[in-house]
Chain A
Amino acid sequence: MHTVGTKVQRVDAVAKVRGQAKYVDDLSTENMLVAKVFRSTVANGWVKSIDVSKAKALPGVELVVTYEDVPRIPFTTAGHPWSLDPEKQDVADRLLLTQRIRFYGDEIAAVVAVDELTAKKALELIEVEYEEYEPILTVEDALKEGATELHEGTGNILKKTEWQVGDLEAAFAKADCVFEDEFVTSRVQHCHLENQISFAYQESDGRIVVVSSTQIPHIVRRVVAQALGIPWGKVKVIKPYIGGGFGNRQDVVQEPLNAFLATLTGGRPVKLEYSREENFTTTRTRHPIHFKIRTGVMKDGTIVARDLEAISPIGGYASHGHAIVANAGTKYRSLYSQEAIRYKGTTVYTTTPVTGAMRAYGIPQVKFALESHIEDIARAIGMDPIAFREKNLVKEGWVDPISGNRVNSNGIRECIKRGRELIRWDEKKAQLKNQTGPKRRGLGMACFSYNSGTYPLFEIAGARIVLNQDGSVQLQIGATEIGQGADTTLGQIAAEAMGIPFDKVHVISTQDTDVTPFDTGAYASRQTYVSGMAVKKAGEEVKAKILERAHRMTDIPLQALDVVNGWVVWAHSGEQVMSVEEVAMDSYYNELTAAPITADVSNNCRVNSFSFGCTFVEVEVDMPLGKVEILEIYNVHDSGKIVNPLLAEGQVHGGVSMGIGYALSEQLLLDQKTGRPLNGNLLDYKLGTIMDTPDIGVAFVETYEPTGPFGAKALGEPPAITPAPAIRNAILDATGVKFNELPMNPQRLVEKFKAAGLI
């Protein structure tokens, strides 16, 4: 392969390093109006009365709207593909503005003014009276007798999922030992550097244009139209460069309200930009999940039975709510095999910040529980934790009994071997025996499996290629660049499929739903795999058309020709016949046969593949300080063929650093009396700085995934999955103390070390 597998430079690197890449706010115009949202200062209740007259009277205020002024159309913000089956559609439980308050910061009214300062002043002039109820901050609060219902008729339960494979009771009865435990994960936030932002305007024909920092432009188009009750074709969404997403922008957070406001301003564009504080607490957060786990094992270390219950407080609105807890169940099936397995997942409405998609969609949570539990079992039965895992890992050919997805490539064992070597596991294990004193070192590891996209759920991707006169192409994709490098990776796949040099592929980065091929967007680590298939298909179609024309131009038999490095060549020898440019010119200007070469394809992907990998970490725990220092950390991934090693390495760096934050420091705190967020800013929310982030080692075990484009499978989200359980296991190794709750911050550590008599 010429391009796939090479470290080509990011297509957007120069624009970004020059400060020329345009993000949403960089495209705003001078006459733009500014919108601000008036938010509740209670977590649970009703607006008894609202007076906006003073706000309206403020000079410079164009518009004030409240819950009384918005369409009575419930909608969902979850960024899933639409389903024709009403049973599978997301729960539509929101209005654009609400009288019923369901979390601290809920959206009651909106102001549109000539500038930001005026809009903020107007917010201060809105007077509101609440009927206030007790905040519901936990699952227990939500389900207790007499709890107020956040959504009528639900009993505060969004949904329950349950499945079982095999005879669970028989398998547990057969087990030599049964282990039970509980694990709790924390509420964290994406913290993409660019806050949530959009602007919207109405064109003279009445169509609404929304320019948004989204990962899912085609889905935003649909949701905006649904929320406003207008035909989908009346909405156009434009997605320029965006400053990170990590799943938060797989939710249609503010675009529907922004679009609605734009219909009321006589055509003037309206900008709706969230502050950092709003971004923390009123966009989306990662689900905290409480797990109860039970595992039956034989004396020889064979896992025979597993049972897992998960329950999550999902916040005031459904959003992705249940899908994430359900996904945690799906991925719990696919790393180790056993005779019988059961999962129960429950999602509960609470008056807390709304949860949604965040890098790896439920899996960092479930793998924290699972890989911690597995470690404890191995230690309890006196087995080496790595050997215990290896004994039970799924093998190639394993088929998920529910999804039907098959493991066609599996490098997990090789990943573990590499990780073990990189960290010098065996050598250090021997050295670390019999430690005493306040500082102790330990080693830990954890494994994961992950999917490439969402199949058997709906998967579709689109790509369009136009061959230019000079032999270069435009590549247009529905897949979205959000920082992860999708434009570059898909450009490489296109170049490889066509046989032209990478620098002849001009990737159109901006999505515009009027002209961009249909694709559901950036999530589920799907784009290299699913959108890559569409790009490869389009590239192959263009190549076939180049060859066909070259054959007609030369009379050389079709099967004797190939395209290599921008040239039509004799396939057997590589001898050049003519340049692609020459073929392209003929396709444009041959007076008899002109027909410019293009391809416009869609790929309904009906397959999936499993990515694998692991984290190995060495920590030093300062017990009196409750401080964990990461001495060495390695992530080893089987993501199939690595399309761009430099970008892939960068994905792993970022994911691991996010995983370290999840393990040790990050947690969005709420006041336990009022539900008010306590640390929703970048100073108090302990996001890792450059000083806090250790050197991160990366390795790839390149398998060949037969279903993926050029052998590739998912990479984007997986690096964030296993750092937390690996660090937890390393702390256990160092101190003998089990931490079953995230984050493992100094306070929690000191408390447990005290209880254990270690300090």
Chain B
Amino acid sequence: MQTRNITFTVNGKEVSVNVDVRESLLEVLRNRLHLTGTKKGCEVGECGACTVIINGETVDSCIYLAIWADGKEIRTIEGEEKNGNLSRIQQAFVDEGAIQCGFCTPGFVMSATVLVESGEKLSREEIKKGMAGNLCRCTGYQNIVRAVEKVMEENLQAK
């Protein structure tokens, strides 16, 4: 087994970890750093349950080698809440009934976060395109779209 020391930032904190070079970022997050909010649904980049944000872009962490994360900034669901307050998109998911079994939720929240932080007012179709890599079997996606639209509306009004 070949290992390598890597250092990256997770949710604003620098971590150094010795990883098996074959390990995915998902495995390192879940098994070594105990950040189990990021989920595993397929391990081949089909379902989006493992979505995290790396240097501002959403990535399926199940098909992203941990060694590639060396030196990068990673955001996971655990870091989205600040000082005990849910992020606005998290709160919108709660308020709009966008959560059912919850297994896809962290991945969706990460995808939605990048969309709402873009500062753009996206159309419904554009929002959908931005989250097309995340699958959900419970909600029919309706209230997830509604949650994103709500935060975008609020952003627009705040400007």
Contact = CB atoms under 8 A, between A and B. Distances in A.
A681 B86 contact: no
Contacts of A482: 101
A323 B83 CA distance: 52
A649 interface: yes
Nearest to A273: B40
B140 A654 contact: yes
Most chain B CB inside 10 Å of its own CB: which residue of A192, A193, A682: A193
B46 A195 contact: no
A282 to B, nearest CB: 15
Contact of A193 (B44, B104, B142): B104
A656 B143 CA distance: 14
B64 interface: no
B101 A243 contact: yes
B135 A194 contact: no
A319 to B, nearest CB: 21
Nearest to B87: A17
Nearest to A661: B137
A696 B49 contact: no
A647 B97 CA distance: 7
B141 A12 contact: no
B5 to A, nearest CB: 20
A429 B101 CA distance: 39
A2 interface: no
Contacts of B93: 13, 17
Nearest to A653: B140
A690 B37 CA distance: 22
A502 B103 CA distance: 25
Contact of A650 (B77, B100, B103, B134): B100
B140 A244 contact: no
B42 A276 contact: yes
Contacts of A246: 137
Interface residues of A, number: 57
Nearest to B104: A193
Interface residues of B, number: 52
Nearest to B95: A9
A755 interface: no
Contact of A696 (B36, B138, B140): B140
A649 B97 contact: yes
Interface string B37-61: 1111111101101000000000000
Interface in A636-673: 646-647, 649-650, 653-658
A521 interface: no
B2 to A, nearest CB: 13
A484 interface: yes
Contact of A18 (B39, B78, B128): B78
B141 A191 contact: no
Contacts of B145: 690
A508 to B, nearest CB: 17
Contact of B135 (A12, A117, A654, A687): A687
Most buried by B among A17, A242, A649, A682: A17
B13 interface: no
Contacts of B140: 653-658, 693, 696
A10 B44 contact: no
Contacts of A711: none
B26 to A, nearest CB: 11
B137 A190 contact: yes
A22 interface: yes
A243 B103 contact: yes
Contact of A19 (B78, B132, B137, B139): B78
A548 B43 CA distance: 57
Nearest to B130: A690
A654 B137 contact: yes
Contact of B94 (A17, A245, A657): A17
Contact of B141 (A647, A657, A682): A657
A17 B86 contact: yes
Contacts of A173: none
A650 B105 CA distance: 14
B54 to A, nearest CB: 17
Given A10-B99, A25-B36, A17 B137 contact: no
A683 interface: yes
Nearest to B23: A117
A655 B103 CA distance: 17
A13 B139 contact: no
A21 B142 contact: no
B131 interface: yes
Interface in A408-449: none
B136 interface: yes
A191 B46 contact: no
Contacts of A199: none
Given A9-B94, A194-B101, A244-B101, A18 B37 contact: yes
B42 A654 contact: no
Contacts of B76: 19
Contacts of B95: 9
Contacts of A691: 128-129, 132
A635 to B, nearest CB: 10
B103 A18 contact: no
Interface string A112-136: 0000010000000000000000000
Contacts of A10: 94, 97, 99
Contacts of B90: 17-18
Contact of B137 (A18, A195, A244, A696): A244
B39 A23 contact: yes
A16 B93 CA distance: 10
Contact of A276 (B44, B81, B100): B44
Interface string A189-205: 01111110000000000
Nearest to B40: A25
B132 A654 contact: no
Given A26-B36, A650-B100, A689 B142 contact: no
Contact of B36 (A19, A484, A682, A683): A19
A193 B103 contact: yes
A658 B99 contact: no
Q: Which of B78, B101, B135 has the most CB of A within 10 A?
A: B101
A359 to B, nearest CB: 10
Interface in B14-46: 22, 30-31, 35-44, 46
A650 B97 contact: yes
Interface in A231-275: 241-246, 275
Given A10-B94, A244-B103, A691-B128, 14 more contacts: A9-B94, A19-B36, A20-B37, A192-B103, A193-B104, A241-B102, A243-B39, A243-B103, A276-B42, A483-B102, A653-B141, A657-B139, A658-B140, A690-B141
7 contacts: A12-B99, A17-B106, A117-B22, A243-B41, A276-B44, A650-B138, A658-B140
Interface of B: 22, 30-31, 35-44, 46-47, 49, 76-78, 80-81, 86, 90, 93-95, 97, 99-106, 109, 128-129, 131-132, 134-145
Nearest first, the 7 closest Cβ-Cβ pairs linking A and B are: A19-B37, A483-B101, A243-B103, A16-B102, A657-B140, A19-B77, A653-B140
